[in-house]
Amino acid sequence: PDGDAMAGAADRNGQLTKPPGALGRLEDLAQWYAGWRGNPRPSIDAPQVIVFAGNHGVAARGVSAFPPEVTVQMVANFEQGGAAINQLARTFGARMDVVPLDLDTPTADFTEGPAMTEAGVVAALRAGWDAVAEEADVLVVGEMGIGNTTSAAAIATRLFGGDAGDWTGRGTGVEGDALALKTQVVADGLAAHGSATDGLDILMRMGGRELAGMAGAIARARSLCIPVVMDGFICTAAAACLEKTQEGALDHVVAGHQSAEAAHGHMLEALGKEPLLSLGLRLGEGTGAALAIGVLKGAIACHSGMATFAEAGVADG
């Protein structure tokens, strides 16, 4: 981030017609955003939402409440504008891109070997990198992929420690025996990749193409100084692979929301990210993050649009 822009934004913030600190987190958000944009009085004009989709070999083990063909059906729904994320992108003035990643060929079942080859994960990271619009000024990355909370739970367990049961949750709605099975699948995956410790290696072994796509896009956004609003459990697991490879890799990322998937809150705590929203969403697609674009827009509108005490002729206490 640009220290001068942040300092300029902090100076401006102190002059705006409100008691000091009265806009709470909106003030911190605006200064953080100003720093990354290199502009003490920035605006948000071009948010971008990218939804990555991938299929998972592990889905064949019955870890989801939905059949794997739903991934490709939902991609069609995204392309026709019928999904939740389409409505939220439109509501907050974001362009939306959909990036299906080789849906006809699921990744390998990660309980039996690496989900992706090195070339495969690099191609997916690259697809994410290439999907970011250079002119975007906020980025949301979301995902669709039947089976991908299983993948994310395995990644989280390996990155943050504990047992499979600590990080495995309901996903789209598995309970009881199905949840026990899912937890066992995560444990089997961990056992099959005992040696992995590097974030990107873990992503390759237990992730999926849509997780790698999100990671690649988040990295690209940093190179373009585009702040990112992070979505829920799966998005955060993908992002965490970057952080565990390079500390500070998520400094340009704010947590858009806390998912109802129980372990998401623990992951956010471990990453030191306080969510902007906590409304019980557990849909993925980037929906929680897209909703938080509204909060970020509000923060920037106040910061850059308000009058100063001097401009407004208001006594400053």
CA distances from 241 to 6, 23, 114, 160, 292 (A): 28, 33, 16, 11, 23
Closest residue by Cα to residue 99 from 58, 69, 129, 121: 129
For its own copies, which stretch binds (CB under 8 A), given 46-54, 115-123, 129-137, 286-294?
A: 286-294
- The binder of its own copies chosen from 1, 8, 15, 18 (CB under 8 A): 18
DSSP H or E segment with residue 278: none
Binding residues for its own copies, how many (CB under 8 A)?
Answer: 59
Q: Is 279 in the site for its own copies (CB under 8 A)?
A: yes
Rounded CA gap, 146 and 148, in Å?
6
Q: Is 144 in the site for its own copies (CB under 8 A)?
A: no
Rounded CA gap, 170 and 264, in Å?
12
- The binder of its own copies chosen from 14, 67, 113, 161 (CB under 8 A): 67
**Of how many residues is the chain composed?**
317
Q: Is 95 in the site for its own copies (CB under 8 A)?
A: no
Closest residue by Cα to residue 209 from 12, 32, 89, 56: 56
Contact 308, 316 (CB under 8 A): no
- The binder of its own copies chosen from 22, 60, 191, 310 (CB under 8 A): 22
Closer to its own copies at the Cβ: 136 or 260? 260
CA distances from 113 to 83, 107, 212, 286 (A): 33, 10, 17, 29
Closest residue by Cα to residue 232 from 128, 140, 127: 140
Q: Which of 175, 274, 285, 311 is catalytic?
A: 285
Closer to its own copies at the Cβ: 48 or 287? 287
Q: In a 3-state reduction of DSSP, which class is residue 147? A: coil
Closer to its own copies at the Cβ: 23 or 154? 23
- The binder of its own copies chosen from 49, 50, 70, 187 (CB under 8 A): 70
Active site residue 285: yes
* Interacting residues with its own copies between 163 and 202 (CB under 8 A): 172-173
Q: Is 15 in the site for its own copies (CB under 8 A)?
A: no
Question: Which positions touch its own copies (CB under 8 A)?
Answer: 16-26, 65-67, 69-70, 73-74, 76-77, 80, 82-84, 86-88, 90-92, 172-173, 260, 276-283, 287, 290-291, 294-295, 297-298, 301-302, 305-307, 311-315, 317
Residues acting as catalytic residues:
285
